Amino acid sequence: ATVMGLYPVGGRYDDGGGGAVNFNGAADTPQRMLTYYARKYLEAELAITGVTDGDARALFEEAMRASFDKVDEVAAAAGAPALVGDDVDAYITAVLDLYDAADDEGKLEHIMTQKWIATYGFGVDAYTDYRRTGYPRLHDPNTDNLNVTSSARLYPVAFPYPQSELNRNPNAPDQRNITTDAVFWDK
């Protein structure tokens, strides 16, 4: 079954349209950089954290509506039904009620959780936001104290330096611990 969503090449990924391939591709594929809804989520985040002026609640609502519009656009292109307006309104109202009842940190959590949902299919964006803000609150299976998981394993926060770079570059830093040594912008 196909999960409707935005994939790097757009549309359904398992519609049987594949064929023979070779290694002579053009090395390009369409990829969205920053959608309107993602921009609105960023604006809401910046407003609630005091970085910019603006009505964070209004921006948050606009972001949610824009993300639903994008889902409808993709669904229509794939021949799937659009989301029903009353259902969308009820969902947004319920989320905004939770938002209104929260303090500023809780409001940020609601904004980032909805952005995480909206960016389904784009794991890099969602993971970067999670690393940057700590939201949404995700269950870490490594902390459940079961013998089938390792409580010492953490989420990676950086890529390791390639060993070839460390060997060839006399100015290279020591190898970083990928679970504790965050990249410079993630501190």
Burial 5-31 (b: 16+ CB within 10 A, else e): bbeeeeebeeeeeeeeeeeeeeeeeee
Q: Quickly list H helices, 78-150.
A: 85-100, 104-118, 123-133
Q: How far apart are CA 142 and CA 153, in angstroms?
A: 6
Q: What is the model's pLDDT at position 38? A: 95
Task: Provide the 10 A C-beta neighbour count for residue 143.
Answer: 11
Give the pLDDT score at 7. Answer: 44
Q: Which domains does the chain have, with CATH numbers?
A: 36-138 (1.20.120.840), 140-187 (no CATH)
Strand ranges (E), 13-161: none
- At 111-155, the pLDDT tens digits run 999 999 998 877 888 888 988 898 998 876 666 666 555 555 567
The model carries a pTM of: 0.68
Are 136 and 116 in contact by the 8 Å Cβ rule? The answer is yes
- What are the tens digits of pLDDT across the range 120-130? 877 888 888 98
Question: Mean pLDDT, 10 residues at a time, over the chain (187 residues)?
Answer: 44 54 61 88 97 97 95 84 87 98 97 94 84 83 60 70 91 87 74
